[in-house]
Amino acid sequence: MFEKATFAAGCFWGVEEAFRTTPGVINTQVGYTGGTMKDPKYQDVCTDETGHAEVVQVTFDPTKISYEKLLDVFWNCHNPTTRNAQGPDVGSQYRSAIFTYSPEQETAANNSRSALGKAKKYGKPIVTEIISAGTFYPAEDYHQKYLMKRGVGSCHI
């Protein structure tokens, strides 16, 4: 049986590509979660007034990749020490967050964040939020697999 994981790590295009190309990941879909507006669109989220984050929802096969390995991908594809910004992208929609679907995911995410903080890997405090997953709203079609469609492997972090 497949499982879901949802991560916010800045602009969702590059984050999706990092997960899409990870063995054991069955599917990726970019979208919005964590806000108050029902069925937000990109233009709404860009106002930084809906409370949503740009996220990647990952469907994965836990017999081929662990949730902990997905957390490793997450930590390595963005800077978890900058609040509400990644590179030139600024706003709460670009925050670092892990949206969990079970107590096991929440524990794993907290343990992972704690271990990285103690290791001082990033030289600054980690500001990543860990919260229960709410409603996921898929982004518009033109955002899905954006970098793959353009033959680009990554974008800025």
- Distant-in-sequence, close-in-space partners of 111: CB < 8 Å, separation ≥ 6: none
Structure tokens at 2: 């497949």
Q: Taking Cα atoms as reference points, which of 143, 137, 138 lies closest to residue 35?
A: 137
Look-up: residue for tokens 């994965």? 60
Q: Give how far Cα 146 sits from Cα of 32, 72, 97, 139, Å.
A: 15, 22, 21, 11
Angle at 25 between CA 22 and CA 26, to 5 degrees: 140
Contact 101, 5 (CB under 8 A): yes
Which residues have a catalytic role annotated?
11
* DSSP single-letter state for residue 150: T
